[in-house]
Amino acid sequence: MPGLGPLVHEEAACLPWSQWSPIPYGVQDKLHQATSFQAAGDGICEEGFRCVSRISKFGTGHWGQVDVGKEEIADAEGSAPVYEWGCPFQGEWSENKYESGPGDDQCTDEGDCICIARGSPDMHTELEGGHEKIIGKFETQSGKAHLGHEPQLIQVIPHYSLRTKDGAPFDIDNPHSGLGTVKEFDTEEWLLKY
């Protein structure tokens, strides 16, 4: 009958209503919610969080295409793990989602990719040799069911925004002319492109 709404799918077969009943309002979204880490597939960060990935697994330079041949940098003993903005997602670096699985260009273990809050009241910046690190206790999305957001001490290598001209030239006489796109780069690439 029209107007009944979507019917229950196989993954919701264990729910208390029959397979011919409409799914109650709001339940459909909860059936497919993503967590911070999933055994296989894609992870999506909640609003207000960004994805960071461990440099001991992926190396540095998390922009553009994922390069699995980069040198992995081990975490210093006794210090917080080091992450860099961006996570691997379908062969490219992404700001708010990641792909988990067994591949070298995927997040394999629980700590390889995490979603962290975009800011923290308990953080500071250190600059060493022209390289910035943000060190702090960031709220992270939990990969474990129903634990909410857990604070975690980590070090993060940030990226810097830069407007890039992609394709067509800017036309000063056209008010609808493209201004390019804003992209994020690590320190070295940002300095080269600037």
Give the model confidence (pLDDT) of 95-153 as tens digits: 888 988 888 888 888 888 999 998 888 999 999 888 899 999 999 885 544 456 778 89
Tens-place pLDDT, residues 13-54: 444 444 444 544 444 444 444 444 444 457 889 888 999 999
pLDDT at 191: 82
Of 29 and 56, which is predicted with more confidence?
A: 56
CA-CA distance, 51 to 179, in Å (whole number)? Answer: 27
Strand (E) positions, 20-59? 41-44, 49-54
CA-CA distance, 145 to 36, in Å (whole number)? Answer: 10
In sequence order, what are the residues at sequence separation of 6 or more whose Cβ sits closer than 8 angstroms to the Cβ of residue 75?
54, 56, 81, 82
- Residue 108 and residue 99 in contact, taking contact as beta carbons nearer than 8 Å: no
Q: Minimal CA–CA distance to 93: which of 60, 130, 49?
A: 60
Both tokens of 38, joined, read 């999933």
pLDDT at 41: 59
CA-CA distance, 190 to 132, in Å (whole number)? Answer: 13
Q: Minimal CA–CA distance to 95: which of 163, 45, 37, 32?
A: 45
Q: Minimal CA–CA distance to 49: which of 122, 143, 119, 116?
A: 116
Roughly how many angstroms between the first and final C-alpha of the chain, as a whole number?
A: 60
Per-residue pLDDT at 74 exceeds 60: yes
| Per-residue CA distances from 131 to 36, 81, 138, 164, 186 (Å) | 28, 16, 20, 22, 9
| Per-residue CA distances from 133 to 58, 71, 83, 159 (Å) | 17, 19, 9, 10
CA-CA distance, 182 to 179, in Å (whole number)? Answer: 9
